[in-house]
Amino acid sequence: MRFPVHITVDMIKHQVRNGLKRQKRYPFVLMLEPLYTCNLACLGCSTERHTGKLKDRLPLEKCLQAVDESQAPAVSICGGEPTLYPELPELIEGIIKRKRHIYLCTNALLMDEKVFGVIPPHKRMSINVHLDGMRETHDYVVDRKGVFDKAIEAIKKAKKLGYHVVTNTTVFKETKIDEVEELCEFVSDLGIDGLLISPGYQYETVKEDMFLTRQDTERKFKRILEISKKYRLQSTPMFLEFAAGMRDYKCSPWSTVTYTPNGWKGPCYLIGEKFYDTWDEFWNGTDWDYWESRLDPKCQNCAMHSGFEASVVKDLGKSPKDMLRMAAWNIFG
Ligand code: SF4
User: Is the CB–ligand 1 distance for residue 272 below 6 Å?
Assistant: no
What's the confidence (pLDDT) of residue 43? 84
DSSP state letter for 162: T
What's the confidence (pLDDT) of residue 268? 96
User: Is the CB–ligand 1 distance for residue 302 below 6 Å?
Assistant: yes
> 101: domain CATH number?
3.20.20.70
For 264-327, the DSSP string reads EEEE-SS-EEEEESSHHHHHHHS-HHHHHHT-SGGGTT---HHHHHHHHHHHGGG-HHHHHHHH
What's the confidence (pLDDT) of residue 204? 52
Q: pLDDT band at residue 259, thresholds of 50, 70 and 90?
A: very high
Provide mean pLDDT across the span 84-91: 98
Q: Which of the listed residues 212, 302, 311, 312 should we mutate to test ligand 1's pocket, taking the one with most ligand atoms within 8 A of CB?
A: 302
Count other Cβ atoms within 10 Å, centred on residue 94.
Answer: 17
SS3 122: coil
Say how many domains are in the chain. Answer: 1
What's the confidence (pLDDT) of residue 2? 80
- What pLDDT digit, counting tens, does each position of 176-201 carry? 999 999 999 999 999 999 999 999 87
- What pLDDT digit, counting tens, does each position of 189-232 carry? 999 999 999 998 765 555 557 788 888 899 999 999 999 999 99
Among protein residues, the one with the nearest Cα to ligand 1's atom 1 is 299
Provide mean pLDDT across the span 39-65: 90
- What pLDDT digit, counting tens, does each position of 314-331 carry? 898 899 999 999 888 888
Inform me whether the pLDDT recorded for 281 exceeds 60. Answer: yes
Among protein residues, the one with the nearest Cα to ligand 1's atom 4 is 299
Task: List the domain range (segments joined by +) for residue 12.
Answer: 5-331
Percent of the chain with pLDDT over 90: 80
User: Is the CB–ligand 1 distance for residue 312 below 6 Å?
Assistant: no
304 C-alpha to ligand 1 centroid (Å):
7
Q: Which of the listed residues 203, 291, 311 should we mutate to test ligand 1's pocket, taking the one with most ligand atoms within 8 A of CB?
A: 291
